[in-house]
Amino acid sequence: MDLASGERSLGVHYLLSIFECKTGVLDDLHKVSSILVEATSRAHASMTGMITRKFDPLVPGTPAGVSVVIGIEESHVSIHTWPENSKASADVYTCGDDMEPEIAVKYIVRRFGSRRTEVTVFDRNTNRVTRTYTIPKLRRKLA
C-alpha cells in the first residue's frame, strides 16, 4: 500500500451498513464477538485486543445492542448493533499490506444473515470515497 511517492499509505476503510439481519445474533455479545474474531483471522489481520459492551434494553425484556471493537496491528475492526431495528454498522480499517479486508467484510455479512448491506470504501490518503456497492443476501455456505 505504498504510494508512488514512497509515502506510506494511511489505509483503506470499509464502512458497512448491515440491514435485515438474522434474529438471535444482534443481541448476543458472544456470537457477535466470535464473528468479528473469526473475520479478523480469515482476513490475515493480527489481533492485539478486544473491547466489548452489552447495552441494557430500553424496555425491559426486549433485545439490546452490543458493541465490539477489535484492535489489530493493521488498525481495527468494529461493530455496533441495533437488534430492535435488525441493523448493524461495522467497519474494517486497514493500513497494512497483508490484510485482506474484503474477506472480513464478506464473512461479517454472511454470518449476520443480512438481506442487504451497503458498503462504502474510503481511502484515508485522499479522504475520498473510492467506491460504494451493495451486497445482496449471500446464500453460499461458509467454509
pLDDT of residue 127: 86
Average pLDDT over residues 55-84: 94
Task: CATH number of the domain at 109, please.
Answer: 3.60.90.10
Is residue 6 one of the residues assigned to a domain? no
Out of 13, 21, 86, 95, the active site residue is: 95
Within a domain: 5: no
34, part of any domain: yes
Evaluate whether residue 2 is within a structural domain: no
Mean pLDDT of 10-28: 92
Has residue 143 been placed in a domain? no
Residue 79: inside a domain: yes
Catalytic residue among 80, 86, 89, 114: 80
21 an active-site residue? Answer: no
Using CA atoms, how far residue 123 sits from 1, 24, 67, in Å, is 11, 34, 24
Tell me the three cell numbers of residue 53.
459492551
Domain of residue 34, residue span = 12-136
- Per the annotation, the verdict on 95 as an active-site residue is yes
Q: Which three cell numbers stand for residue 132?
A: 460504494
CA–CA distance, 140 with 143 (Å, rounded to integer): 9
Q: CB count, 10 Å around CB of 106?
A: 20
Q: Can you tell me the distance from the alpha carbon of 83 to that of 16, in angstroms, rounded to the nearest whole number?
A: 16
pLDDT at 7 over 50: yes
Task: Give the separation between CA 126 and CA 79, rounded to whole angstroms.
Answer: 24
Would you say residue 82 lies in a domain? yes
Average pLDDT, the chain: 89
Candidate list 13, 75, 86, 114, residue with the active-site label? 75
If one compares 107 and 61, the residue with the highest pLDDT of the two is 107
> Would residue 80 show up in a list of annotated catalytic residues for this protein?
yes
